[in-house]
Amino acid sequence: MAYKIVASQCTVCGACEFECPNVAIRMKGEMYLIDPKKCTECADQFDTPQCAAVCPVPKTCIPA
Amino acid sequence: MANLISLDSIKPVARAETMREALESGGCSSASCGSSDGPADMDPAVWAKVKDHPCYSEEAHHYFARMHVAVAPACNIQCNYCNRKYDCANESRPGVVSEKLTPEQAMRKVIAVANEVPQLSVLGIAGPGDACYDWRKTKATFDQIAQQIPDIKLCLSTNGLALPEHVDEIARMNIDHVTITINMIDPEIGAKIYPWIFHNHRRYEGVEASQILHERQMLGLEMLAARNILVKVNSVMIPGVNDQHLLEVNRVVKAKGAFLHNIMPLISDPAHGTHYGLTGQRGPRALELKALQDRLADGTKLMRHCRQCRADAVGLLGEDRGQEFNLDLLPEEVAYDPSKRDAYREIVAVELGEHQTHKKGAEAGLAAVDAAPAVLVAIATKGGGRINQHFGHASEFQVFEASPEGISFVGHRKVDQYCQGGWGEDATLEGMIAALEGIDVVLCAKIGDCPKDSLAAAGIAVSDAWPHAWIESGIAAWYLATYRAELRLSA
């Protein structure tokens, strides 16, 4: 149960890193990556995964 | 609360006198003294904040330069004129992605620019993204640079949603200029501009989203005004969506203490991939923009010299030297050397005094002409307040309105440079003539016969008789030569 970032669409704005309550998102090289071990899809924390809610590009933070 | 001040009133010619008067009468330290909008109620402290800021003072934009650093790329709203794959179409022209910088990289770049561009007076953070939402990066950047270059003015630009929670810190950090983009005060209209916002850990859509955004914008504006921080309101004019509504926006933001209102034309092109671009929403024509600016209750309280510069722009307004300072061109270690900036400031002080004298002389000359029309004059200039650019080298013209009432700056027209490597392109000339719609005369340092004839055929007069003259002196000389002669003929 984790989300992933579609690298080809990502604008590298960093909003997801900023909002992730689990510190699961970090910059690796030129891209942001979601650590599946840390990602909880924000279950029990928020109604929707925060990365997907703030991401400016549709269908870019999606279930892995 | 700061009063909304007209650009005319922040020109030093009026200011120097009124400031002296204010000082002699014991002075006034409150920004809210005096009645409304005249120069008389402008606090010297406010004048000190705007006099070197090219975006807040029309006078300053001839002499001082700004630079933007793109350190805060995250945003908390979506606008229909913005495609986040490129830069924000609002605060920076879209099409080319800015170099995104870390706060440390930004500091290297700012110091390198300060050492090379003596006109530099302002550092701004203006997207892509929102400087208040991506606050940690904004703050880290400003803190580091303020330590190295204490006299640089800091400003930031925001959509306002995350503004209220940072106002106290903005005040503590001596950020004296904040720009809020306010496109509506009616959430029904907002719903046509903003598809969603992200606030308090969730996404809101439709009218509800715009209602929240509107409330946060108004709160942020009031909080800044209460702390005497100058607020510029930017509004994107979207024909058929908010163009008429901006009259109401102007009234409200003025009442809440905005210092300047800047109406910017929507930039919309399918190639930018924005919602508006893809759905055929058009931007306003230059004359439509001017007509709206003229209709706003007090036309002169508008900023008319905005160039909608890129988020990583460097240089005088209308000029962008950003590419010269890309990170890979900079040395690893740079140390700040204030000598060039200090020397430049001394020269500007002298030049400004001379400019004001000539401006006054020019206006006195015009006042002597009766019954002559108001005309729009386009000037080719490289800056410094002079007619000093070749027609074919101009990538924009500054537009002034001249009449017996005086000379006032009313805006600028961007054009594609006509002359490339010594050869003029006829297709470019046609585009140029279209961009100069409504202009009566073009004054430039030099022009060839061929473009001169084409302009004449399009009903636009052109003259290179006053190269390197002060802009107002050249305009007055042309105006007198034209209308005195006509009066003599008709007499």
The CATH architecture one would assign to domain B366-490 is 2-Layer Sandwich (3.30)
d(CA B122, CA B185): 30
Question: What domain count does chain A have?
Answer: 1
Q: Is the pLDDT of residue B216 over 80?
A: yes
How far apart CA B240 and CA B244 sit, in angstroms, is: 8
| Chain B interface includes A53 (CB < 8 A) | yes
Q: Tell me how far CA of residue B49 lies from CA of B54, B227, B318, B352, in angstroms.
A: 11, 14, 22, 17
ipTM of the complex: 0.94
User: The tokens of B127 are what?
Assistant: 């997207």
Domains B61-329 and B366-490 share a fold: no
Q: What is the pLDDT of residue B256?
A: 93
Is-contact B141 B71, C-beta < 8 A?
Answer: yes
CB count within 10 Å of CB B160 equals 25
Q: What is the pLDDT of residues B252-289, one digit of tens each?
A: 999 999 988 888 899 888 877 889 999 999 999 988 98
How many beta-carbon pairs under 8 angstroms link A with B? 43
Asked if B74's CB is within 8 angstroms of A53's CB, the reply is: no
Dihedral sign computed on CA atoms, order B107, B135, A52, A16:
positive
Contact state of A47 with B100 under an 8 Å Cβ cutoff: no
Q: B-chain residues within 8 Å CB-CB of A49? A: none
Q: What's B316's DSSP letter?
A: S
Q: Do A50 and B201 touch (CB under 8 A)?
A: yes
From chain A, the residues in CB contact with B128 under 8 A are 13
pLDDT at residue B9, as a whole number: 35
Q: Residue A13: its chain B contacts at CB < 8 A? A: 73-75, 84, 128-129
Q: What H or E segment, with its residue span, contains residue B361? A: helix B339-367
Q: What angle do CA B126, B161, B42 make, to 5 degrees?
A: 65
Partner-chain contact B134 A12, CB within 8 Å: no
- Given an 8 Å threshold on Cβ–Cβ distance, is A48 in contact with B202? yes
Q: Which residue of B has its CA nearest to A52?
A: B203
Per-residue pLDDT at B213 exceeds 70: yes
| Contact criterion met (CB < 8 Å) for A11 and B76 | no
Within 10 Å of residue B206's Cβ, how many Cβ atoms? 14
**pLDDT of the residue at B95:** 34
What are the residues of chain B with a beta carbon less than 8 Å away from any beta carbon of chain A? 73-76, 78, 84-85, 100, 128-129, 133-134, 198, 201-203
**Tens of pLDDT, residues A13-40:** 999 999 999 999 999 888 999 999 999 9
Residue B474, token pair as written in the block:
């050249």
User: Domain containing A40: what range?
Assistant: 3-63
The arithmetic mean of pLDDT across residues A5-17, rounded, is 92
Stretch B440-455: mean pLDDT, rounded?
A: 90
pLDDT of residue B94: 38
Position B122 scores a pLDDT of 85
Q: Is there a contact between B203 and A48 if contact means CB atoms under 8 Å apart?
A: yes
User: Is pLDDT larger for residue B160 or for residue B316?
Assistant: B160
CB half-sphere exposure, B379, CA atoms < 13 A? 32
In CATH terms, the fold of domain B61-329 is TIM Barrel (3.20.20)
pLDDT (0 to 100) of residue B338:
80
Q: Is the pLDDT of residue B96 over 50?
A: no
Q: How far is B129 from chain A (nearest CA, A)?
A: 8
Mean pLDDT, residues B405-431? 76
Confidence of residue B328 (pLDDT cuts 50, 70, 90): confident
Q: Write down the mean pLDDT value for chain B.
A: 80
Binned at pLDDT 50, 70 and 90, residue B14 comes out as: very low
Please provide the size of chain B in residues: 491
Percent of chain B whose pLDDT exceeds 90: 36
| A7 in B contact zone (CB under 8 Å) | no
Of the candidates B74, B202, B203, which has its C-beta nearest A13's C-beta?
Answer: B74
Contacts of B135 in chain A (CB under 8 A): none
Domain residue extents for chain B: 1-51, 61-329, 366-490
Is the overall model pTM greater than 0.80, yes or no? no
Q: What is the CATH number for A28? A: 3.30.70.20
- CA-to-CA separations, B177 to A11, B79, B123, in angstroms, rounded: 28, 23, 10
Helix and strand totals (H; E) in chain B: 14, 17
Residue B75's closest CA among B238, B207, B195, B239? B195
Sign of CA dihedral A52, A53, A55, A58: positive
Cα(B47)–Cα(B26) distance, integer angstroms: 17
Lowest mean pLDDT among A37-51, B92-106, B420-434, B467-481: B92-106
Give B100's contacts (C-beta < 8 A, 6+ positions apart). Answer: A12, B70, B71, B73
